[in-house]
Structure 1
């Protein structure tokens, strides 16, 4: 079941990133200007951000199994629309819908966390989240290979077929009931309660800011690393550059141990060590132009660190209020999206005017800011064996909550 959740998460989130290596081909096929074809990526990300705010919280009020299957089936329709789009307008509309529905990934993460025993929740979240990160890292490689074989439209048709198959399998095997009964909040109250949760939960606010900073660093690397690699002295092909995602996947897989460490009550230590590794990763990355081995070491360290902190963040956040898991994870992921967008825009702009060294300085700055935030707030994280630190048998801050007060 955990593997199925991970595969479904990776497949869904990969749709958000398929277009990145295909933009030139798509633009040529549909006679789109460079500025217009860039809107494919922008609208997909905007759709994803809107979905985090408007769709993911629904997991706390409706049957998650039905919600997941319905979103996957609608995602199949959006993917088919993109694959068959005859005009730029229909393509852009389809990509926006695709991004909106791809947030089913976060509903799956929240569902997996709710089904896991409290003493294994960190490990389960770690394994499922590894599917998300691997889906992101391998999406560009897979898209390039399939497009070379059968054209860019085949990428989305293949994904539509796989998504439909996953919808059928999940419909058959997912539990029909969640661990926690749906809340009685109305939709407007549900959205407002997400803001209320941020106001009440300091751990949520701190971990959301950490998520913003680590994904700004992550995006700083992955949105710009193709630029120095495609220039002399390497002049690597798109396929070779895309294969770098395989290296990053190694680091992502290794970081699944972070979830198990969190289950042992080591969230503080895991976060601090991972953030130190994140800052240190930019030293070998700075030597990318002179050594591919330095790049490989830096990529493994960076992806390992980001994944470790991300898994720890989600486990701690979910433990605060398991009955509000979808709202907590959806709200946290909004900060992830902001960080990813900030890193991408800043890195590509900075590379154009100041080169790779400036990009590495930017990534190191994001990383050091994250470490400083952890150092200043680590005393706010519950000690091992208390609610919210992933300690075995603890259900976070559920005891003593007043649902009626939350509705008010």
Structure 2
């Protein structure tokens, strides 16, 4: 092969990651991951539409998260075997159809099924983030991934706000029609602007999936981070999935005046959505704590961040009728969960450079299974004991996370010494 041919081949395999492409990938990541969270401030209105209990409608949020976990488990590893852009375009088209199915669902069971499908096919951020790492220059990889991750975080934070606002003016079904329209626009942008990445894995899908089990079996640090992450996200989801129920129950106490501005009336779904903006403060604090991990012992720092989650639910249990208390609790909760997530990723990505996609698959699947379980447990707890039941559930789950963390000190220290 001539030098000219080699240069062409390298460009074909490693296209340039331009600033405009980076922005498009970050925006797409945020808008697609938002599909998973639009429904959380809408649950109360969904329950009224279908005349079902809050425990039943809580399964909508739970199965959305479980669908995302299923998509990451069974579809994300395919990115090592097939052309990545082709996989992204197919999943995005199916996500669009699933969102339309959600909008027209005639009963609660079909809505739960549609939400599960939305979760499965919205796995695309977990394809775009490794793709960013692949396209970026080695010396710029960290900053480029961080930029796309910022899009992911904004999508998570703002989706609840957008969902609440749309529901207040147009009803909950409109949110999913709008989301489907957004996916069509994203599909067109990615189709014309996203480069193709050729697959490098030459084995079979069966062997690829089997390697996930091998990683789980032989990497205790991965198992530890996965369990710790799942418990943290269970706490996070337990709070956000039931917040709208609290607002609906105690609306007149929490919001004596239902008018924000002259022509805007506050509703429970809008209030729950607006609380998503408050989480941004916790995310900012988490990024600061992430930088602290380079300056202090990672195990000790994670102990503090996990205790923040416990403290947040202690604050919540006394704040069922207090907006200031809920605001403080949200900031503390998001700070603890996001900072611990950063710690977990630092831990697992120090294991095997050649298996980072599969390591990330194991971790993120566990993460969202934890979110689904947290949503389910909180919905049951709400039905049995209301807001206090939800807070006790969060205290128990975060307490278990602290215990798991303290019992695995040697694993963390071993990884730190090997880096």
TM-score by length of 2: 0.78
Aligned residue runs from structure 1 range 107-118, under 5 A: 107-115=127-135
Q: How many Å separate the matches in 1 of 2:279 and 2:239?
A: 11
Offset at 1:303? 0.4
SS in 2 for 1:381: helix
User: Which of the residues 121, 139, 142 maps onto 2:162?
Assistant: 142
The answer to whether 1:207 aligns with 2:225 is: yes
Offset at 1:186? 0.7
Offset at 1:125? 4.9
Q: How many Å separate the matches in 2 of 1:172 and 1:266?
A: 46
User: Which of the residues 113, 117, 122 maps onto 1:102?
Assistant: 122
TM-score by length of 1: 0.80
Query: 1:378 aligns to what?
Result: 409
Offset at 1:253? 3.6
Offset at 1:159? 1.5
**Distance change >3 Å, CA 245–CA 378, structure 1 → 2:** same
Query: 2:209 aligns to what?
Result: 191
User: Which stretch shows the higher mean deviation, 215-224 or 150-159?
Assistant: 150-159
Deviations 1:227-251 (A, max 9, x none): 3333342257321232111111221
Q: How many Å separate the matches in 2 of 1:124 and 1:224?
A: 35
Aligned partners of 2:310 and 2:395 also within 8 Å: yes
Aligned partners of 1:212 and 1:338 also within 8 Å: yes
**Distance change >3 Å, CA 32–CA 96, structure 1 → 2:** farther
**Distance change >3 Å, CA 335–CA 385, structure 1 → 2:** closer
User: Which of the residues 202, 210, 217 maps onto 2:235?
Assistant: 217
Query: 2:16 aligns to what?
Result: none
The answer to whether 1:300 aligns with 2:331 is: yes
Aligned residue runs from structure 1 range 269-308, under 5 A: 269-308=300-339
**Distance change >3 Å, CA 383–CA 174, structure 1 → 2:** farther
**Distance change >3 Å, CA 184–CA 80, structure 1 → 2:** same
Offset at 1:166? 2.3
The two structures, once aligned, show a CA RMSD in angstroms of 3.3
Aligned partners of 1:9 and 1:108 also within 8 Å: yes
Q: How many Å separate the matches in 2 of 1:248 and 1:284?
A: 16
Offset at 1:308? 1.4
SS in 1 for 2:38: coil
Query: 1:9 aligns to what?
Result: 29
Query: 2:184 aligns to what?
Result: 164
Q: How many Å separate the matches in 2 of 1:109 and 1:220?
A: 26
- Size of the aligned set, in residue pairs, is 385
**Distance change >3 Å, CA 358–CA 83, structure 1 → 2:** closer
**Distance change >3 Å, CA 38–CA 170, structure 1 → 2:** same
Aligned residue runs from structure 1 range 70-85, under 5 A: 70-83=90-103
**Distance change >3 Å, CA 385–CA 364, structure 1 → 2:** closer
Q: How many Å separate the matches in 1 of 2:409 and 2:334?
A: 22
Aligned residue runs from structure 1 range 301-316, under 5 A: 301-316=332-347
Query: 2:359 aligns to what?
Result: 328
**Distance change >3 Å, CA 151–CA 362, structure 1 → 2:** closer
Aligned partners of 2:58 and 2:376 also within 8 Å: no
Q: How many Å separate the matches in 2 of 1:269 and 1:382?
A: 11
SS in 1 for 2:254: coil
Q: How many Å separate the matches in 1 of 2:356 and 2:30?
A: 20
